[in-house]
Amino acid sequence: MKHLYLFSYLLMIFKKLRAASFELRAASKLRRSILFLVVFIVGSMALQAQQYPLFTNYLLNQYGFNPATTGMATDLQVNLYYRKQWTGFPDAPVTRIAAVRSRLRRVPFAVGGYFFKDEAGALRRSGGTLMLSYTQRIGEKTTISAGFAGGFHQLRLMDDFTVRDLDDPVILNAQTGLWAPDFNAGLHVQSGDFYFGFSIPQLFEPRLRFGDPGRLSRLESHYYMVAGYDWSLSEHFRLEPSVMLKMTEGIPIQPEAALRGIFMNRYWVGGLYRSQEALAAMAGFAAGRMLEVSYSYDFTTSGLRHANSGSHEISLVFRFERQKHDRDNDGVADKDDKCPDTSGPERNGGCPEDIFAEKGVSDRDADEIPDHLDLCPDVPGPPDNNGCPWGDRDGDGIPDHQDDCPGIVGVAMNNGCPVNDRDADGIIDQFDQCPDVPGSFVNRGCPDADSDHDGTPDPLDKCPGTFGPASNQGCPVVTPEESSLLELAVRSLYFQSAQVQIWQQSSPHLERLAELMKNRSDWRLRIAGHTDNKGAERANLLLSKDRAESVYNFMLSKGVRREQLVMEYFGSAKPFADNNTEAGRQLNRRVELEFVFD
């Protein structure tokens, strides 16, 4: 507790010093030097009193204090972390971390690194660290990892801490900042569902000089121990209790205990108790395999609880999977899988677990398939048959549970049933649409039919009633000249308001279109009448019908057969342009024409 009260007292001193720095314009150089020397001396006290950056979700951010956990990221992993401590307290600590880590291929090493920035009061601590870990399997279920990290960090005054005397060497030293090396070492052991870690940040206790050549401040080594157990209670629910101890010279051991409940391997909630300091609520979820989000809120229980409204912490984890060979699709790459052809969990080296009893899972027939996944829980059977024995009563090589005709010899392409081909056309009855009449594969077992005699069988002909080349899937090819003739006719088919008479200038275009239709006797022409939105709906519908009929009758009068014409009318239901303007309404008073092929 004493380091928390010391830190709160330090923040109040910084606040007063910041206000006082603006009033030192007439003060002597000696007084200014003394002021900033006090700032750095108090800052050095904070470095010895304040623990390493806090992590409420410490299980998700162990890389920040234990480099041995670098190899826990099986794929390329990016972590983003933010913590706002003691919200509402002036100049309270803020921590930001961005990290990346990944295992190396073909060698048991993992590498990573992170950048961080801590701000507290008038001081800012920032820097970067590179991490390296080595992992070795010991036995079937136990791995041990050793890690080392090294980097540098800088301690300096905040940029908004304004001073007057820029020539004072103490001030210059404060604004420039002090650099210090930072080396960490750690171990991590995973045995089945149990894990244990030990690490020492600030391993070599670097010393900082704060202005006065005779005064050095030492960054104390910290000692972290983490232990926990992943306890599976059912297929979709796990509990994970864990504890962490933080130790440093001159400060009582600070224990923390956490408990997480994990649902469906995707959602989790939990709580944490930090001795004499805080209670925390935690939650998180995974959005697929790529993103994991976690959040925590600390309720301060120390004497500072009346001066702040709690602490917030959020962590984002991005995972980028690398392509890997995994024949049994159990999530363990073949190069790491001791049983590459049989599914099994990663903690068991990719092999099936034979410790169902320890997990509380029943396997009555001892076929290594748990009863809740075994279709035949009392009779041993292979995984490929879902735990049931192979059965093939008719000896056709197709298991009975996949054989539609388990008592009759058949073939796999017919689901275990005999091949029947009543019309002897080489297409078995199951796939023959005409099983009693010989046909071709192209026509799905039916006789080749070509209603329009264009050489394209009707089942493959998109226009079976209209002659067309096979290159156009049996439909006619409309030439550019024919398309142009139709377009000119359409452009001239507009009407005055409430009128149905065809404009005189439209007749030549319609006559040429009628000649085309007589030459293309198997083509059809769709005639669709429309109106603007003026008038009643029923009156508009009848008006659109009359307009369509005027074109319909014109085409009949020019010798086009009635069977070639299709008439439709829609009233004002399908406007072509905006009915709010006269120009738009004119465009909507129209008849549309379209070639139709059966």
The answer to the question of residue 123 being in a domain is yes
The answer to the question of residue 565 being in a domain is yes
- Give percent helix, percent strand, percent coil of the chain, each to the nearest 5: 25, 30, 45
Say if residue 175 is in the same domain as residue 277.
yes
Phi, psi angle pair for 217, to nearest 5°: -115, 135
The answer to the question of residue 209 being in a domain is yes
The answer to the question of residue 357 being in a domain is no
Say if residue 159 is in the same domain as residue 43.
yes
Task: Please state whether 331 falls in left (phi above 0), alpha (psi between -120 and 50) or beta.
Answer: left
Say if residue 106 is in the same domain as residue 53.
yes
The answer to the question of residue 278 being in a domain is yes
The answer to the question of residue 378 being in a domain is no
Q: How far is CA 579 from the centre of its chain?
A: 46
Say if residue 412 is in the same domain as residue 523.
no
Give the residue numbers spanning the domain of 404. 391-448
Q: Are 94 and 85 in contact (CB under 8 A)?
A: yes
Say if residue 36 is in the same domain as residue 121.
yes
The predicted structure's pLDDT at residue 75: 76
The predicted structure's pLDDT at residue 168: 56
Q: Which residues contact 154 (CB under 8 A, 6 or more apart)?
A: 125, 126, 127, 177, 178, 179, 180
Say if residue 80 is in the same domain as residue 176.
yes
What count of Cα atoms within 13 Å lies in the side-chain half-sphere of residue 190?
18
Spatial distance between the Cα atoms of 289 and 47, rounded to a whole number of angstroms: 39
pTM beyond 0.85, yes or no: no
Dihedral, 400, 405, 410, 416 alpha carbons, nearest 10: -50
The predicted structure's pLDDT at residue 38: 41
Say if residue 211 is in the same domain as residue 102.
yes
65-77 pLDDT tens trace: 899 898 777 678 8
Say if residue 176 is in the same domain as residue 299.
yes
pLDDT tens across the length of the chain (598 residues): 333 333 443 444 344 444 434 433 333 333 333 343 344 334 433 343 444 667 788 888 888 889 989 877 767 889 999 998 888 877 788 899 999 998 887 788 999 999 988 887 767 788 899 999 998 888 778 889 999 999 987 877 676 666 555 555 555 565 666 777 888 999 999 988 899 999 998 887 777 665 555 555 667 788 899 999 998 888 789 999 999 998 887 778 889 999 999 998 889 999 999 888 889 999 999 987 789 999 999 988 877 777 778 889 999 999 887 655 666 767 777 667 777 767 777 766 677 765 444 556 677 777 778 887 777 788 787 776 777 776 677 777 777 777 777 777 777 777 777 777 777 777 777 777 778 878 777 677 777 777 777 777 777 778 888 888 888 888 888 888 888 888 888 888 888 888 888 888 888 999 999 999 999 888 899 999 999 999 899 999 999 999 999 999 999 999 999 999 999 999 999 999 999 999 899 999 999 999 988 7
Say if residue 156 is in the same domain as residue 208.
yes
Domain boundary residue, one of 424, 448, 472: 448
The predicted structure's pLDDT at residue 1: 37
The answer to the question of residue 354 being in a domain is no
The predicted structure's pLDDT at residue 31: 39
Nearest Cα to Cα of residue 317 among 68, 62, 55, 81: 81
Domain boundary residue, one of 301, 320, 339: 320
Number of domains in the chain: 3
Domain boundary residue, one of 289, 320, 351: 320
CATH code of 210's domain: 2.40.160.40
Say if residue 160 is in the same domain as residue 87.
yes
The answer to the question of residue 42 being in a domain is yes
438-450 pLDDT tens trace: 877 767 777 777 7
CATH code of 488's domain: 3.30.1330.60
Say if residue 526 is in the same domain as residue 420.
no
Q: Are 11 and 121 in contact (CB under 8 A)?
A: yes
Spatial distance between the Cα atoms of 229 and 219, rounded to a whole number of angstroms: 33
Say if residue 260 is in the same domain as residue 171.
yes
Location of structure tokens 């007057």: 164
